[in-house]
Chains A and B, each alone.
Chain A
Amino acid sequence: MTVDLSTVKRVAHLARIAVTPEEAERMRDELNAILGFVAQLDEVDVSGVEPMTSVVEMAMKKRQDVVADGDKSDDILANAPVSEDGFFAVPKVVE
């Protein structure tokens, strides 16, 4: 499978990364090189093979459904580029 320029631009939008036309062209070539490399997997017969879900055999650990942490909005907001009145601030979303 190979990707064209419009696919690269669509994927860049999905990934929320702005790309210039030159970057998109370079990325198209690089992505095609990598997709060409991973195409080797077509040789492998995986019929009847279960996909890996956990690399170490163990049951998912569970804990009590109780509040174990919290009351630290100052800590959480400390690294926000913009915050107001205890909230993260973003550009206007609703007109």
Chain B
Amino acid sequence: MSELTSLTIAQAREKLASGAISASELTEAYLAAIEAANAQFNAYIKVTPDKARAMAKASDERIAKGEGGALEGIPLGVKDLFATRGVHTQAASNVLDSFEPRYESTVTSNLWADGAVMLGKLNMDEFAMGSSNETSYYGPVVNPWRSRGSNARLVPGGSSGGSAAAVAAHLCAGATATDTGGSIRQPAAFTGTVGIKPTYGRCSRWGIVAFASSLDQAGPIARDVRDAALLLKSMASVDDKDTTSVDRAVPDYELAIGKSVKGMKIGIPREYRVEGMPAEIEALWQRGIDWYRDAGAEIVDISLPHTKYALPAYYIVAPAEASSNLARYDGVRYGLRVEGGDLRDMYEKSRAAGFGTEVKRRVMIGTYVLSAGYYDAYYLKAQKVRSLIKRDFEQAFAAGVDAILTPATPTAAFGIADEDMAADPVKMYLNDIFTVTVNMAGLPGMAVPAGLDASGLPLGLQLIGRPFEEETLFQAAHVIEQAAGRFEPEKWW
């Protein structure tokens, strides 16, 4: 890691503004880091050096004129789920073979309008369906972290595995990501980075390839809490092009950092103490509780009784919405086409060749639960359970809880091609057990690195907030960051 790529966004912003470094120098440092190391990680599936250099040059010109934006000259990676004009956008799927949109997603438009520089498109689980980045058409991403004394390759989590790995390995200053059931927070926890999924409706979904529309939200993965605040400020907006974009001004999240949590009520949900949870995760959680108590917060035990039903309800709602959203991949309008005897044969062959195993599995589940005679038993029931999950949180917040503290994941990062996970899809799904409730209730959730396990792998804690109170999460997350310190993988690449 060069000196330039070790700067946080906040540090780089200062040096760029003062003229100590140029945007072009900073971009060149990241391009060199990608060139040297991406083959090891497979984090980027498309690097855009020409575009990056042109954007950096434009940034330098704006800085010279005193017209620099909030993220002027900051080099970012973009998850392949975001439409980027004229640039590879395939949701890491073969079904979108060669797709280059003629439009730009609202979230990335916001970032470029603030002066950020695009380095390229980041690997992910196909259509964001996965918790290990192994379902990508482009192959798995390798976690920059390794167990102490081992060379075994570990997953970075998923679906935003490329984003998390690239941030942790300093192959970008920060990255865009998306979270439908934990896809920002779980990879952040697995890589020692900070990830926030804001409230549903905070970031526009326009131009983001849809997976499960009632759950999908964009958010950043960054190296520290402040950088996450800077990125979210730019990504979030009110957008007429998304009817679920909520009409509320975007606050300056950075101002919340450093505020005392004295008197804040932190809820500890007893249902998150799950059977078989490793003692290290339990101890980490307790450490988090102690940090808040020491900082003057009030710790309250709370109950979220429907927690255990969130994951089964999710595995009805998300596949149902996915089967509907993914109906558009028909070999006619874009992407892969495999010719067949007639139209239907062409559809079936194109989709069979274009979708990977996990995507097919979820489209099949979704089609089944929505098929005639089963809608009430599955989808309607799951949406009712979802109301109960949301009510649990509302009751906790009504009792005065400001934020809820939980572990982010039930384990640290596991191995690539883990046999237990491969043999049982449900086992892989259990990775999201602590994160999925937040999507079901539409709440903001944030993963913050909080320690290392016995083998030296990062572990994260999760903070859950009231709707649109992301500021409280930044305020509270900073306490963990101050107490735990920051974590960087030992460089082996």
Interface residues of B in 413-433 (CB under 8 A from A): 424-426, 429
Beyond A38-B316, A55-B442, is A33–B425 a contact (Cβ under 8 Å)? yes
When the two chains form their complex, are residues A46 and B385 in contact, meaning their CB atoms are under 8 A apart? yes
Interface residues of B in 348-370 (CB under 8 A from A): 348-349, 351-352, 355, 360-361, 363-365, 367-368
A52 to B441, CA, bound (A): 10
When the two chains form their complex, are residues B384 and A30 in contact, meaning their CB atoms are under 8 A apart? no
When the two chains form their complex, are residues A52 and B342 in contact, meaning their CB atoms are under 8 A apart? no
Q: Which of A19, A40, A51, A90 contacts B384 (CB 8 A)?
A: A51
Beyond A11-B371, A17-B363, is A79–B378 a contact (Cβ under 8 Å)? no
Q: Is B199 an interface residue (CB 8 A)?
A: yes
Beyond A18-B351, A91-B340, is A56–B246 a contact (Cβ under 8 Å)? yes
A46 to B309, CA, bound (A): 12
A88 to B331, CA, bound (A): 10
Interface residues of A in 33-50 (CB under 8 A from B): 33-35, 37-41, 43-44, 46, 49-50
When the two chains form their complex, are residues B426 and A34 in contact, meaning their CB atoms are under 8 A apart? yes
Beyond A14-B371, A17-B355, A31-B364, is A61–B387 a contact (Cβ under 8 Å)? no
Beyond A15-B364, A46-B381, is A58–B246 a contact (Cβ under 8 Å)? yes
Which chain B residues lie closer than 8 Å to A5 at the CB level? none
Interface 1/0 per residue, A1-34 and B, CB below 8 Å: 1010001100111111111000000010011011
When the two chains form their complex, are residues B364 and A40 in contact, meaning their CB atoms are under 8 A apart? no
A53 to B386, CA, bound (A): 10
Which chain B residues lie closer than 8 Å to A76 at the CB level? 102, 333
A38 to B366, CA, bound (A): 13
A78 to B215, CA, bound (A): 30
Query: Number of contacts between A and B (CB, 8 Å)?
Result: 169
Q: Which of A35, A49, A56 contacts B244 (CB 8 A)?
A: A56
Q: Is B313 an interface residue (CB 8 A)?
A: yes
Interface size in chain A (residues, C-beta < 8 A): 52
When the two chains form their complex, are residues B332 and A44 in contact, meaning their CB atoms are under 8 A apart? no
Q: Which of A39, A41, A91, A93 contacts B385 (CB 8 A)?
A: A41
Q: Which of B98, B341, B390 contacts A52 (CB 8 A)?
A: B390
Q: Is B100 an interface residue (CB 8 A)?
A: yes
CB nearest to B387 among chain A residues: A52
CB nearest to B244 among chain A residues: A56
Beyond A30-B361, A60-B243, is A79–B201 a contact (Cβ under 8 Å)? no
Interface residues of B in 176-207 (CB under 8 A from A): 199-201
CB nearest to A82 among chain B residues: B337
Q: Is A81 an interface residue (CB 8 A)?
A: yes
CB nearest to B353 among chain A residues: A18
Q: Is B325 an interface residue (CB 8 A)?
A: no
When the two chains form their complex, are residues B336 and A44 in contact, meaning their CB atoms are under 8 A apart? no
A13 to B363, CA, bound (A): 12
Beyond A41-B385, A79-B333, A90-B346, is A11–B364 a contact (Cβ under 8 Å)? yes
A28 to B44, CA, bound (A): 35
A3 to B373, CA, bound (A): 14
Report the minimum CB–CB distance from B436 to chain A (whole Å): 13
When the two chains form their complex, are residues B102 and A18 in contact, meaning their CB atoms are under 8 A apart? no
Q: Is A84 an interface residue (CB 8 A)?
A: no
When the two chains form their complex, are residues A41 and B99 in contact, meaning their CB atoms are under 8 A apart? no
Interface 1/0 per residue, B40-60 and A, CB below 8 Å: 000000000000000000000
Q: Is B4 an interface residue (CB 8 A)?
A: no
Report the minimum CB–CB distance from B71 to chain A (whole Å): 27
When the two chains form their complex, are residues A11 and B382 in contact, meaning their CB atoms are under 8 A apart? no
Q: Is B306 an interface residue (CB 8 A)?
A: yes
CB nearest to B319 among chain A residues: A34
Q: Is B308 an interface residue (CB 8 A)?
A: yes
When the two chains form their complex, are residues A49 and B243 in contact, meaning their CB atoms are under 8 A apart? no
A18 to B354, CA, bound (A): 11
Q: Is B167 an interface residue (CB 8 A)?
A: no
When the two chains form their complex, are residues B371 and A55 in contact, meaning their CB atoms are under 8 A apart? no
When the two chains form their complex, are residues A49 and B387 in contact, meaning their CB atoms are under 8 A apart? yes
Report the minimum CB–CB distance from B2 to chain A (whole Å): 38
When the two chains form their complex, are residues A51 and B323 in contact, meaning their CB atoms are under 8 A apart? no
> Could you pull out 10 A-B pairs where Cβ atoms are within 8 angstroms?
A15-B364, A18-B352, A33-B425, A50-B384, A51-B380, A52-B386, A56-B467, A79-B99, A79-B101, A90-B332
5 interchain residue pairs of minimum CB distance: A55-B442, A51-B383, A81-B337, A79-B334, A18-B352
